[in-house]
Amino acid sequence: MSDKVIKGTEENFVSEVLESKIPVLVDFWADWCAPCRMTGPIVDQVAAEYEGKVKVMKFHVDECPEAAGQAGVTSIPAFMMYKNGKLVQSINGAMPLAQLKALVDGAL
């Protein structure tokens, strides 16, 4: 995880995601999930490209089960875009960079 990605915790879900002043891309993942590991570098690249415009966070589902439950996560990887505290779009499964950027661009 790059230094541009914020580590999600049970304690910061509300303040960092729901109360954020800028759109937030949330990646719900786990280290035992091969597709999650495959998309990790893509998430890091998005965080670098959209720095200052979009906040990028990663929530490990085993460490943050309450946040995952609150977000309605049923499978991983799960990518969710929040804007003004509301979920605007979500996609499950691994995806290429272009598709993840399209998810982000849709919220901007």
What residues are annotated to the active site?
A: 33, 36
Nearest partner of 63 among 103, 32, 97, judged by Cα: 32
How far is the C-alpha of 38 from the C-alpha of 17, rounded, in Å?
24
- With beta carbons less than 8 A apart as the criterion, state whether 76 and 63 touch: no
Residue 11 CB partners (closer than 8 Å, separation 6+): none
